[in-house]
């Protein structure tokens, strides 16, 4: 699939009500256009300010660095994703349908940003980068995304074992990061391969949650969940 030629805001973008919100959004829009045209490394804050029609000082007032601009992009993508996922979560309690719908919603939301995001996420995959979705700088956006996945679970009719309840939203977020990585390399029309992966893996996840209630597997899965918890503290 060819890269998108422009970065246009999706129709579901939240309304901006204050001058500060509009200025902040204009700076993010300008940055995304320049990142797409020139690349992340070649784009300066001065160029972003000029593109946005604001002073350099004003750009730095809203975003201390290019890295902070990426966090703004994460925040916007999260808002758009939650808005796009809302209709799915409001109309079904089937967990497979909820996972598929929310994951498809992310693919839909990211389509206008594909030309930029595909290149950017390759750089963000560097573990030590503040641009990484796993970094401390990305904490707020990551927490908001995990809460979305918590809502996917809480509104479903699937019984989640008590010992998995607290950890499962983050595990689903990690699953979504795997989808992101696949999407970055997917060049099929309409992201068909990514959508197929979503549709085939979601039922497996739901079956695994059901199997987690079986006594024969409970101890093993509980040990794995405990290990993940310990790793996060190191």
Report the CATH number that the domain containing residue 178 is assigned in CATH: 1.10.357.10
- pLDDT value at residue 11: 44
* Within-domain flag for 52: no
Which residue, among 118, 138, 150, 22, has the nearest Cα to 70 in the 3D structure? 138
Domain span holding position 130: 66-233
- pLDDT value at residue 65: 85
What is the C-alpha to C-alpha distance for residues 50 and 44, in angstroms, rounded to an integer? 10
- pLDDT value at residue 14: 52
For residues 173 and 149, the answer to whether their CB atoms sit within 8 Å is: yes
Domains identified in the chain, total number? 1
Q: Where are the alpha helices (DSSP H) in the chain?
A: 19-38, 45-52, 56-62, 66-91, 95-110, 114-124, 139-154, 162-165, 168-185, 192-211, 215-233
- pLDDT value at residue 4: 41
* Within-domain flag for 106: yes
Reported as a single tens digit per residue, the pLDDT across 123-177 is: 677 777 778 888 888 899 999 999 999 999 999 999 998 888 888 999 999 999 9
* Within-domain flag for 47: no
* Within-domain flag for 2: no
* Within-domain flag for 54: no
* Within-domain flag for 229: yes
* Within-domain flag for 188: yes
* Within-domain flag for 7: no
Reported as a single tens digit per residue, the pLDDT across 59-77 is: 999 998 888 888 888 888 8
């Amino acid at each position: 699939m060819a890269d998108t030629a422009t970065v246009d805001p999706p129709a579901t973008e939240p309304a901006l009500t204050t001058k500060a919100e509009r200025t902040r959004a204009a700076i993010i829009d300008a940055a995304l256009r320049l990142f797409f045209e020139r690349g992340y490394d070649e784009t300066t804050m001065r160029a972003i300010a000029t593109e946005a029609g604001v002073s350099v000082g004003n750009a730095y007032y809203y975003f201390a660095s290019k890295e902070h601009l990426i966090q703004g992009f994460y925040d916007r993508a999260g808002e758009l994703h939650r808005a796009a996922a809302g209709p799915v979560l409001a109309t079904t309690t089937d967990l497979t349908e909820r996972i598929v719908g929310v994951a498809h919603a992310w693919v839909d939301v990211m389509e206008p940003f594909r030309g930029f995001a595909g290149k950017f996420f390759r750089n963000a995959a560097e573990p030590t980068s503040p641009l990484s979705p796993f970094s401390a700088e990305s904490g707020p956006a990551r927490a908001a995304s995990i809460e979305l996945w918590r809502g996917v679970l809480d509104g479903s009719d699937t019984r989640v074992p008590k010992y998995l309840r607290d950890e499962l939203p983050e595990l689903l977020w990690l699953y979504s990061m795997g989808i992101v990585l696949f999407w970055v390399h997917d060049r099929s029309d309409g992201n068909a391969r990514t959508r197929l992966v979503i549709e085939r893996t979601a039922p497996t996840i739901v079956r695994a949650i059901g199997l987690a209630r079986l006594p024969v597997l409970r101890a093993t899965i509980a040990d794995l969940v405990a290990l993940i918890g310990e790793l996060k503290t190191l």
